[in-house]
Amino acid sequence: MPVPAHLHKFGGCVASRHAERLMKQESLCLHAGYAPKNGEPRVLPIAQSTTFRYTSTEEVARLFDLAQSGFFYTRLGNPTVDAVEQKIAALEGGVGALCTSSGQAASLISVLNVAKSGDHFVSSASIYGGTFNLFAVTLKRLGIEVTFIDQHASDEELDQAIRPNTKLVFGETLTNPSMDILDIERFAAFAHRHGIPLVVDNTFATPVLCRPFDFGADIVVHSTTKYLDGHAVQMGGVVVDSGNFDWQASGKFPELCEPDASYHGLVYTQAFGKAAFIAKARAQLMRDLGCCQTPQGAFYLNLGLETLPLRMAKHSQNAALVAEFLAAHPAVKSVKYPTLASYPDRKLTAKYLPKGCCGVISLELKGGREAGARFIDSLKLISLEVHVADIRTCVLHPASSTHRQLTDEQLAECGIAPGTIRLSVGLEHGDDILEDLRQALDPLSK
Ligand SMILES: Cc1ncc(COP(=O)(O)O)c(C=O)c1O
């Protein structure tokens, strides 16, 4: 069902923009979402206003009824944030997007938009520690249960995780920090044979290296705090809808297909057609949870997006070089990076990441946790940071930081050893990164 023209802003509908559909990623990064008219600012302006003025109560009532397009309160929509949402939707090849205050909020919304208390979902166990905790602990407290599965399990084993109340399947394109590649096509087929959507966290790959919708995923989420921003200046997240999932077919999603009592009895699939998922996420969950991106935050995110293709190519090139160096170093026990000959799933690398595999490398030193600490403490150029996917090379020990809440058993489920080190290769000259690694690693092999 086509989206009525006046509702495009609310649910989003970038795919209908003919010119943008024809543009390549590099051009979309610069031009999608904002096209200034004669005499208007060339650069996306910051609409630093929480609210918008109207001259008639009738018009404001129409806005609240979603019978007219327009901004009325920045929690629900803002011109700067809207432009960035359209840009990201265009990059992912989706019909609409919703920016959030962080990646955590995006993951939360992607689940809460289809699952309620009493429901269940399936997630790969190899995911970011914060998401693991959100799913295993906080959502459980809200009555939504998760089953974690090994993403290398057989189709039969995957099917066994499904229950009558299972509402979605979740995974990461490139897992943080174990650097496994999700077989998106296989997982989309798995979700679809049970009438439920596949949600993919595409934070590490970014739409420049992989577009999960091209392989059948239905919803994409990002921590935009990572590569999409890229400069470590702004927290953010985004939920993107492919517009391809049929919410009516299975009868499992009454919240999208039946009247919403909290919104004048609106039926999202009827009012918004292909853009129903984002319209509901915005009208219902963003309204109630309030985890919105700010106009200033969206402006920073937009600056980052403008150079995303250049950065991802260089991150990938530098990381491939560093991974080869590490793999040959005597102090290193193992290195996981999808371009290495030793990588277990090279077919997946070729299929999903032919343009590069981002800047993140997972490694373990021969001396385990203790050698890892000595290595990290003696780095000079490369900094120890609770961050990843920055333009500056940084390093972290997940077991004592991002994945600290997990037990050793849960760590193993996520593909993390106690001594695993996550190296995030930045945009410095490759020689300088290698030199710093060399001076920190050489003493360990003596
Ligand atoms: C893959 C992935 N998803 C989600 C998140 C959460 O994002 P944020 O820190 O922006 O809340 C992170 C954070 O590191 C991440 O790496």
Indicate which residue's Cα is closest to atom 12 of ligand 1.
223
Q: What is the pLDDT of residue 10?
A: 64
Q: How far is the CA of 104 from the centre of ligand 1 (A)?
A: 6
Residue 106 alpha carbon to ligand 1 centre in Å? 9
pLDDT value, residue 137: 97
CA–CA dist 62, 414 (Å, integer): 48
Instruction: Specify the CATH class of 5-305 in words.
Output: alpha beta
**DSSP structure class, residue 283:** I
Which ranges of the chain have pLDDT less than 50? 1-6, 14-16
For residue 263 the two structure tokens come to: 């919104």
pLDDT digits (tens, 9 = 90+) for 51-90: 999 999 999 999 888 888 899 999 999 999 999 999 999 9
CA of 174 to the centre of ligand 1 (A): 12
Report domain extents, the chain.
5-305, 308-445
Q: Atom 2, ligand 1: which residue's CA is nearest?
A: 128
Question: Which pLDDT does position 11 carry in this prediction?
Answer: 61
- Report the CATH number of the 308-445 domain: 3.90.1150.10
**Predicted model pTM:** 0.96
Which residues line the pocket of ligand 1, CB cutoff 6 A? 102-104, 128, 130-131, 172, 176, 201, 203, 223, 225-226, 235, 237
Contact between 325 and 437 (Cβ < 8 Å) = yes
Q: Which atom of ligand 1 is nearest to the CA of 235?
A: 10
pLDDT tens figures, 112-137: 999 999 999 999 999 999 999 999 99
Q: Is 308 left (phi over 0), alpha (psi -120 to 50) or beta?
A: alpha
Q: What is the number of the ligand 1 atom nearest to the C-alpha of 387? A: 14
- What distance in Å separates the CA atoms of residue 95 and residue 279, rounded to the nearest whole number? 11
